[in-house]
Amino acid sequence: MQYTEIMVRYGELSTKGKNRKDFIRQLGKNVRHVLHDFDNLTVSAKRDRLHVTLNGDDSDAVIDRLKDVFGIENFSPSLKVEKNMDDVKKTVVDMVKSQFKDGMTFKIDTRRQDKNFPLDTHDINDALGGCVIDNVKGIKAKMKNPDITIRVEVRMNGIFLSSETIQGAGGLPVGTGGRATMMLSGGIDSPVAAYMGMKRGVKLDMVHFYSPPYTSQQALAKAKELTSKLTRFGGNIQFIQVPFTEIQEEIKQKVPEGYLMTIQRRMMLRIAAALTLSRHCKGVFTGESLGQVASQTLESMMAINDVTTVPVLKPLLSLDKTEIIKVAKKIDTYDLSILPFEDCCTVFTPPAPKTKPNLEKTRECEKLIDVEGLMKRSLDNVKVMDIKPGEEFLNSQEDVFAELL
Ligand SMILES: Nc1ncnc2c1ncn2[C@@H]1O[C@H](COP(=O)(O)OP(=O)(O)OP(=O)(O)O)[C@@H](O)[C@H]1O
């Protein structure tokens, strides 16, 4: 069915008292971003509900997008009908028929905003209910838990009919929980961690380290494409690409092999923390999970986190890999994440990194490299771009396969 409007009900935000206005404004902005490529529709975020007026845009496609936006409890696609009971009756019967199967029950549930409409809610329920019984053979009315509920809203500008309530993504609108950076690799975990941070309303700026020529253009494009996938939960995302080649080469040349990985991670976190502060963000998210690999033991975390007092947030800390993969599949990042383009960490991973690095020894090893100079040169060359929903970065399939061969 081609609907005329989608009526969106707010999620958790309705409980947030004085912040309510900001929450609604932010959700309106996020929905506009997520639907930016629909030319005709308009979004209006009101106190109780948000309305997407389709003006002829494809309702199925819009419904698909709205399902992912954080801060939406549920929504109902509706049809606008002129304030004329004959038209309303005809449309209600069509709506019921499109869902009716033998033995089903129904109910008409009317609300009236326009108090001047000649019929009150009882009259409307009676008139429409009678009409459905006369025209849909075998259907019965039932007030408690009916199979089909037709909601009728008599507003000033028309009568709106809806029968479906579609579950939204829940969570909080992205941006209402402050802003942080996210260390995004091309792997499975960090996009899932980003999704979880965004679900709690945090706006994330993606920080991606790349090391040409050791890592390819396709690896960088993959990180951008993952970012694009994540925009559907709350709109545009800033992507910050940070050159890491010189840092890795110097570490490889000067640092004892057992500490290569720890020092690399310290440099990554230092740069991410510097970007966090310069961009007025309030924390760094990572995709680490406790005990998963050498860099993710408590000892390693202590040796790495030593470089900053900026909060380092790890939403996946206690998840098993199988649980992480399940979410990655659900949010459609898994297939992209497993494309085998080298990440800068894997390229320079020593065969036997220390799983329990000693903090003092780590600090000593780091004195062998020019921390300040390396950081400055890397930060001077970061590139920032704004990624929008639907943008694609991995070229044509042929290019991807050419690289895989
Ligand atoms: N190239 C990179 N750019 C930005 N962040 C990175 C990069 N590589 C690793 N990280 C960060 O460090 C975390 C741990 O990375 P690591 O490679 O040890 O583990 P992982 O479990 O494979 O993580 P992922 O699946 O996210 O790559 C990542 O989740 C990510 O937050």
Domain parsing of the chain, residue ranges: 5-167, 179-403
Domain 179-403 classification at class level: alpha beta
How open is the CA angle 242-244-247, to the nearest 5 degrees?
A: 140
Q: What is the mean pLDDT of residues 39-44?
A: 96
Give me the helices (H) in 207-354, please. 217-230, 245-254, 260-278, 298-305, 321-330, 334-337, 344-347
How far, in Å, is the centroid of ligand 1 from the Cα of 185? 5
Token duo for residue 205: 């700026």
Q: Decide whether any atom of ligand 1 lies within 6 Å of the 26 Cβ.
A: no
Report which residue type is found at 280.
H
CA dihedral over 62, 64, 67, 68, signed as positive or negative: negative
Q: Decide whether any atom of ligand 1 lies within 6 Å of the 153 Cβ.
A: no
Q: Of the CATH numbers 3.40.50.300, 3.30.2130.30, 1.10.1370.30, 3.30.450.40, which one belongs to the domain with range 5-167? A: 3.30.2130.30
Residue 292's pLDDT is what? 65
Residue 16's pLDDT is what? 58
Supply the pTM of this predicted model: 0.90
How far, in Å, is the centroid of ligand 1 from the Cα of 64? 30
265 known ligand binder = yes
Strand, coil or helix: 294: helix
User: pLDDT for 316-362, tens place per residue?
Assistant: 999 999 999 999 999 999 999 999 887 777 767 777 778 899 999 99
How far, in Å, is the centroid of ligand 1 from the Cα of 287? 6
8-state DSSP, 171: S
Q: Has residue 256 got a pLDDT over 60?
A: yes
Residue nearest to atom 14 of ligand 1 (CA): 288
Q: Decide whether any atom of ligand 1 lies within 6 Å of the 385 Cβ.
A: no
- What are φ and ψ of residue 367, in 5° steps? -65, -15
Closest to 241 (Cα-Cα) out of 260, 227, 262: 227
183 known ligand binder = yes
% residues pLDDT > 70 (the chain): 94
pLDDT band at residue 47 using 50, 70 and 90 as cut-offs = confident
Residue 11's pLDDT is what? 78
User: What are the strands, taking DSSP E only, across 94-229?
Assistant: 105-112, 140-141, 148-155, 158-162, 166-170, 179-183, 203-210
Fold agreement between 5-167 and 179-403: no
Strand, coil or helix: 172: strand
Index of the ligand 1 atom closest to the CA of residue 295? 18
Q: Decide whether any atom of ligand 1 lies within 6 Å of the 349 Cβ.
A: no
User: pLDDT for 271-326, tens place per residue?
Assistant: 999 999 999 999 999 999 998 676 789 999 999 999 999 999 999 999 999 999 99
